[in-house]
Structures are given as structure tokens and as C-alpha cells.
Amino acid sequence: MAAAARRLGNGGLVAFPTETVYGLGADAANAEAIARLYQAKGRPAFNPLIAHVSDLSSAQRIARFDATALALADAFWPGPLTLVLPKAPRCQVADLATAGLDTVAIRVPAHPVAQDLLRRFGGAVVAPSANLSGHVSPTTAAHVQSDLAGRIDLIVDGGPVAVGVESTIVGCFETPMLLRPGGVPRTAIERVLGRPLLRPPEDPEADSDQPLAPGMLASHYAPRTRVRLNAVNIEPGEALLAFGPIMPAGFDRAAAAMNLSARGDLTEAAAHLFGYLRALDDKQASTIAVMPVPNDDLGEAINDRLRRAAVPQT
């Protein structure tokens, strides 16, 4: 951990576990390190990054918190919630990391390894998911290794992550907006706010102009194999990504099959999602056929990632 913190301080790129997915960290104040981070991921530089800090008081040096933001931080930090807030006057996060926006995305991760690293390092760490841009997010150190070996300085292995989908992103605008469903269910946030979250524009292409969450590109989180959603029957040669105890027609013909949660548990399904997509992607199947997943709780984030995985890649 000491070596990892030192690497960050020297402008290095360090992958580390958070409770959602593995992140690829760089010193948020070091534009050169951030440029290398974008390069290592092959990520378009207009797609801004989340600044990770160890606690609320560190977050308040970066961004301005109103009463709503404080209520959300109090309820869900540390944890899988990211807040998009106006930058503080002396915000140390490099403009390259915020893609020139006057807002900044901040999160306080709960994972003990992430907390330890942030405390040792002392400053903010920007960290996108530690995968090649457009690939499925990593939920184990081995996933990071297979995407980024040779392109980054260090991987801290903290075992498989607990949540398995990225943080929920809330834009703290006049009316708070759900920019990305994720590890905190929308309903839990709405209970704290006492009102519904605005929804982002339905059409993902609408993001390309003046993006609210510029990272929400239509094709994202994508395996190389074609993905077919809401499968109720399986064609020969297809791989099956199942959910729940009841198998679809023709499942015995599947080239490969994995079940996100045989007992139909959405939390378990989220934890398995990206790892199973990666595993099925390696089976040389014609298609990954995915059974319907209910949209409650973490199901909203799961369905969001599945829809993106199913968009044809360009």
C-alpha cells in the first residue's frame, strides 16, 4: 500500500479495488498523469473522471455542497454514490480530468483498500473503471491485468468486488438528476430527497451534443460478442446469461450458460454481471442471449449496463 501511494505521488497509474468495480487511479492534481491515464485506457478525453477522496471534508475542498448534496453524502458516503457538484473556487482537480466542465464528480468509496490508499496518498485520486475504454468494467484484479497489463504501473489486488456495478451518479442541479443508475438504488436516494430524481434524456445519442453525463456513450460496457436482450428462447450456438430459477426454451442447446442469480437475487446478480459477461465473451458463441432481469433495486443499473452492452459497436 505504501508503494501504491508513492506511485500515485510520482504521477503513476495504480489500479485498486473499490466496492463497485476496480478503478485506475491517478493524482487528480497532476494533468500529465491524467493524460497518461486517458491514453492507457484509450479513452476519449472529453469523458470526465470521478475524483475519489477519503471523506466529506476532503470532498468539500474540491466542490461546493448545498443542503441536498450534504444530505446525500451523509446518507450514502462512504459508498457507491457519486455526486456531480459545482467546483470549489480552489479546486485542485486538473481541468483535463473534468473535461473543462465547471462541475466535478466526487465519490467517497467504502472499500477498505481504497480508503487506505486515499488516506496514505492524502489528495484526490481520479479513477475511471480500470478497463480499456468501451470494455466491460473489471470486478477482479485478473480482469484489470487482462485489459491493462504493460500499460499501467501497479495493480492492488483486493479480491473480487462486492457490488459489481459502478456507482450511481446524481447531478446536484436545481432538481437532482439521476445521471447513471448504479450501486445505490434510485428509490433509496429518492427516500432521502423526499422527491423523485429527474431522469436523464432517454436517447443516449442526445448525450453527444451537450452531455450531462458525457460518459454515457451509447455503446459502453460491451463484450465483443453480440448481445441479445430479453431472450425467452435459446438458438443453437448462443451462450446463455440466465437470471432466476426458470430456464428459457432451448437452454440445453446453449454453447455455454451462466446464471447471474439462480435464486433471482438482484444484489447477487449485480456482483456477477461483468465477470459473467467477460467469461461468456470468451466462449466463441454467436451471441450472448440474456434473460429478462426485473428493473427494481439494482436491476435498474443491471439493465442499463445490459442495454449498453447490446448496442452494436462501431
* Sites of contact with Mg ion (CB under 5 A): 129
Q: How far is the CB of 163 from ligand TXA (least distance, A)?
A: 8
Closest CA to 239 of 294, 278, 270: 278
126 binds, options ligand TXA, Mg ion, none, Cβ within 5 to 8 A by partner type: none
Nearer to Mg ion, 242 or 298 (CB): 298
Nearer to ligand TXA, 18 or 287 (CB): 18
Q: What is the 3-state secondary structure (H, E, C) of the chain?
A: CHHHHHHHHCCCCEEEECCCCEEEEEECCCHHHHHHHHHHHCCCCCCCCEEECCCHHHHCCCECCCHHHHHHHHHHCCCCEEEEEEECCCCCCCHHHHCCCCEEEEECCCCHHHHHHHHHHCCCEECCECCCCCCCCCCCHHHHHHHHCCCCCEECCCCCCCCCCCCEEEECCCCCEEEECCCCCHHHHHHHHCCCCECCCCCHHHHHCCCCCCCCCCCCCCCCCEEECCCCECCCCCEEEECCCCCCECHHHCCEEEECCCCCCHHHHHHHHHHHHHHHHCCCCCEEEECCCCCCCCHHHHHHHHHHHHCCCC
Nearer to Mg ion, 82 or 129 (CB): 129
Q: How far is the CB of 75 from ligand TXA (least distance, A)?
A: 17
Q: Taking phi first (over 0 means left), then psi (-120 to 50 degrees means alpha), and beta for anything else, what does residue 151 get?
A: alpha
Nearer to Mg ion, 21 or 231 (CB): 21
C-beta of residue 258 within 8 angstroms of C-beta of residue 276: yes
Nearer to ligand TXA, 139 or 287 (CB): 139
23 binds, options ligand TXA, Mg ion, none, Cβ within 5 to 8 A by partner type: ligand TXA
The contact set with ligand TXA (CB under 6 A) reads 18, 20-21, 23, 47-50, 82, 84, 98, 101, 103-105, 107, 127-129, 166-167, 169, 179-180, 212-216
The residue with its CB nearest to ligand TXA is: 215
101 binds, options Mg ion, ligand TXA, none, Cβ within 5 to 8 A by partner type: ligand TXA
58 binds, options ligand TXA, Mg ion, none, Cβ within 5 to 8 A by partner type: none
Q: How far is the CB of 235 from Mg ion (least distance, A)?
A: 31
Task: Using DSSP, state whether 75 is helix, strand or coil.
Answer: helix
Nearer to ligand TXA, 54 or 98 (CB): 98
Q: How far is the CB of 296 from ligand TXA (least distance, A)?
A: 20
104 binds, options Mg ion, ligand TXA, none, Cβ within 5 to 8 A by partner type: ligand TXA
Nearer to ligand TXA, 72 or 240 (CB): 72
Q: How far is the CB of 123 from ligand TXA (least distance, A)?
A: 16
271 binds, options Mg ion, ligand TXA, none, Cβ within 5 to 8 A by partner type: none
Q: How far is the CB of 232 from ligand TXA (least distance, A)?
A: 31
Q: How far is the CB of 198 from ligand TXA (least distance, A)?
A: 14
C-beta of residue 265 within 8 angstroms of C-beta of residue 298: no
